[in-house]
């Protein structure tokens, strides 16, 4: 017997019926408990749900413990018979009053039922995937939608959940399968009266798809960045006020601000919403010669190593220096200024600010993290930069993960090979690999069955 399946008292085998609180734990107006599997209906009935449940219609019910008949809650119950449910199985929903004790009583009552068990993390979605309700990229879209922190992320995730990426890959897959059918026909029926331009037609389809895919690959980094957030690293020598600046920008106390140098041991992240775009602000440990720092402790040295790595991968660097040093900035700060840098001179409350808008060609801002002066201009500038870098003019990008990019790159490369070989059998093999790579995006890798369907469209004569 496969794990996750069970045989009930009637000797009927089927998947486990699972249940879980689907809304956030804690106190709330309403809490939704979802039940999915063959025993959803009987479980609902055992709790006192009405016998004559109508599909997808909310009904008020007095739920009781099946053990002792103790009232649990007056709740709204909904019934979604398969296959028209989120998971594709029979699903029942209990809309309880959102008190933790109410929820606990309902969950305990369900746990006591034969054949029911609490769901594992992600199991409802897993079942939706297994029953073809969502494909892999739609599952990812759903996960991203729930995790979205800004408007731009929400738009992108919603688009993916609703199948934008699936539709696109299916479109390519169908065209490539037609091309494959042409090639297969030439291989399997070399003596038949096939249209002489079959090979040319296949090439045209492949080359068109390759151009299209390459175009989408160009905007892949944008989609990935939108999903992960735009990274801004705050770097600079110790004690210039990096942590204070992070706090001031985030307007919350997340980093420890201390008088002694080098108290920020590791990178600290704050997530901001700048103009609807997700921005991750990273405060890094003070950068100083690691050898000197090693005397202060290995932890500090490791912190600095990570800080440098973070700064390397960031989309933008805020290089913070002490305004008191202007115009002779700390060499450590100078060493960090490059094409990705915005220079921030902190502690403007202690010294007069320079009037120059640039330092070594990079934008220059004088601020006081302590008093908040100059921060509005800095934030406005950052917002403009993020919007310019992440700004999507048309529809949101459809490739949002490295996984998608890799699959499309493999597909493109396979097409490239198929287009350059002279042998039709070799071309067909490369094309098959390209189609499989596409299928990885949605989790549909079944080339054969679709090929059968397409193949039937060909008039091979006999």
Q: Which residues bind ligand GDP (CB under 6 A)?
A: 238-244, 257-259, 264, 286, 346-347, 349-350, 368-370
Q: How far is the CB of 282 from ligand GDP (least distance, A)?
A: 12
Give 257 or 419: the residue with its C-beta nearer to ligand GDP.
257
Structural contact between residues 255 and 243, judged by C-beta atoms closer than 8 angstroms: yes
Nearer to ligand GDP, 53 or 281 (CB): 281
Whole-number Å distance between alpha carbons of 120 and 4: 11
The distance of closest approach from Cβ of residue 237 to ligand GDP in the complex, given in angstroms and rounded to an integer, is 7
Nearer to ligand GDP, 235 or 408 (CB): 235
Nearer to ligand GDP, 17 or 243 (CB): 243
- Of all residues in the shown chain, the one whose CB is closest to ligand GDP is 241
Q: How far is the CB of 253 from ligand GDP (least distance, A)?
A: 12
Q: Return all residues near 368 (Cβ < 8 A) that are at least 6 apart.
A: 346, 347, 348, 349, 374
Q: Which is nearer to ligand GDP, 369 or 441 (CB)?
A: 369
- Spatial strand order of the sheet with 30-36 comes to 59-64, 71-80, 91-97, 30-36, 17-21, 116-118
Least distance to ligand GDP from the beta carbon of 370, Å? 3
- CA-CA distance, 430 to 203, in Å (whole number)? 12
- Report, in angstroms and rounded to the nearest whole number, the Rg of the chain calculated over CA atoms: 30
Q: Is the CB of 58 or the CB of 256 nearer to ligand GDP? A: 256
Which residue's CB is nearer to ligand GDP, number 105 or number 342? 342
Q: At what angle do helices 424-442 and 136-147 cross, to 10 degrees?
A: 30
Least gap, CB of 260 to ligand GDP (angstroms) = 8
Neighbours of 237 (CB within 10 A): 23
202/426 Cα distance (integer angstroms): 13
Q: Which residues contact 332 (CB under 8 A, 6 or more apart)?
A: 236, 237, 287, 288
- Closest CB to ligand GDP among residues 369, 415: 369
Q: What does the alpha-carbon distance between residue 330 and residue 308 come to, in Å, rounded to a whole number?
A: 17
Minimum CB separation from ligand GDP for residue 276, in Å? 29
Nearest distance in Å: CB 342, ligand GDP: 16
Q: Which string of DSSP letters, residue by residue, matches 349-412?
A: TTSPPP--SEETTEEEEE--TTT-TTHHHHHHHHHHHHHHHH--SSSPPS--SHHHHHHHHHHH
Query: 156 or 368, CB closer to ligand GDP?
Result: 368
Shortest approach of ligand GDP to residue 285 CB, angstroms?
A: 8
Evaluated on CA atoms 243, 245, 246, 251, the torsion sign reads positive
- Residues 451, 180 contacting (CB under 8 angstroms): yes
Distance CA 78, CA 90 (A): 11
In the complex, the smallest distance separating the C-beta of residue 256 from ligand GDP, rounded to whole angstroms, is 7
């Amino acid at each position: 017997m496969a794990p996750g399946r069970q045989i009930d008292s009637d000797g009927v085998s089927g998947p486990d019926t699972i249940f879980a609180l689907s809304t956030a734990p804690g106190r709330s107006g309403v809490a939704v408990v979802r039940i999915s599997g063959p025993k959803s209906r009987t479980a609902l009935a055992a709790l006192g749900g009405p016998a004559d449940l109508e599909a997808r219609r909310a009904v008020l019910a007095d739920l009781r413990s099946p053990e002792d008949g103790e009232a649990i809650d007056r709740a709204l119950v909904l019934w979604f018979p398969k296959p028209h449910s989120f998971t594709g199985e029979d699903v029942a929903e209990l809309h309880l009053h959102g008190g933790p004790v109410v929820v606990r009583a309902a969950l305990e009552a369900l746990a006591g039922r034969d054949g029911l068990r609490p769901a594992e993390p992600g199991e409802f979605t897993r079942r939706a995937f297994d029953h073809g309700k969502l494909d892999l990229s739609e599952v990812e879209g759903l996960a991203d939608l729930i995790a979205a922190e800004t408007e731009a992320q929400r738009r992108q995730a919603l688009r993916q959940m609703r199948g934008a990426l699936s539709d696109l890959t299916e479109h390519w897959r169908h065209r490539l399968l037609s091309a494959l059918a042409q090639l297969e026909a030439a291989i399997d029926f070399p003596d038949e009266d096939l249209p002489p331009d079959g090979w040319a037609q296949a090439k045209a389809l492949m080359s068109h798809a390759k151009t299209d895919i390459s175009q989408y690959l160009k905007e892949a980094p944008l989609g990935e960045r939108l999903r992960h957030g735009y990274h801004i690293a705050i770097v600079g020598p110790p004690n210039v006020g990096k942590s204070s600046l992070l706090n001031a920008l985030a307007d919350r106390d997340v980093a420890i601000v201390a008088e002694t140098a080098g108290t920020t041991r590791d990178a600290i992240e704050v997530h901001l919403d700048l103009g609807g775009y997700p921005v991750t602000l990273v405060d890094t440990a003070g950068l100083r010669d690691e050898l000197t720092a090693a005397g202060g402790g290995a932890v500090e040295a490791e912190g600095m190593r990570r800080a440098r790595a973070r700064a390397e991968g960031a989309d933008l660097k805020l290089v913070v220096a002490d305004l008191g040093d202007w115009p002779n900035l700390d060499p450590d700060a100078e060493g960090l200024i490059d094409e990705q840098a915005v220079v921030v001179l902190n502690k403007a409350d202690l010294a007069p600010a320079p009037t120059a808008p640039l330092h070594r060609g990079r934008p220059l801002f004088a601020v006081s993290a302590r008093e908040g002066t100059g921060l509005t201009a800095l934030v406005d500038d950052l917002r403009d930069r993020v919007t310019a870098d992440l700004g999507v003019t048309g529809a949101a990008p459809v490739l949002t993960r490295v996984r998608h990019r890799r699959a499309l790159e493999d597909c493109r490369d396979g097409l490239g090979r198929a287009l350059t070989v002279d042998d039709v059998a070799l071309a067909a093999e490369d094309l098959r690999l390209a189609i499989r790579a596409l299928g990885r995006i949605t989790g549909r890798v079944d080339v054969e069955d679709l090929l059968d369907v397409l193949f039937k469209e060909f008039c091979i004569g006999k």
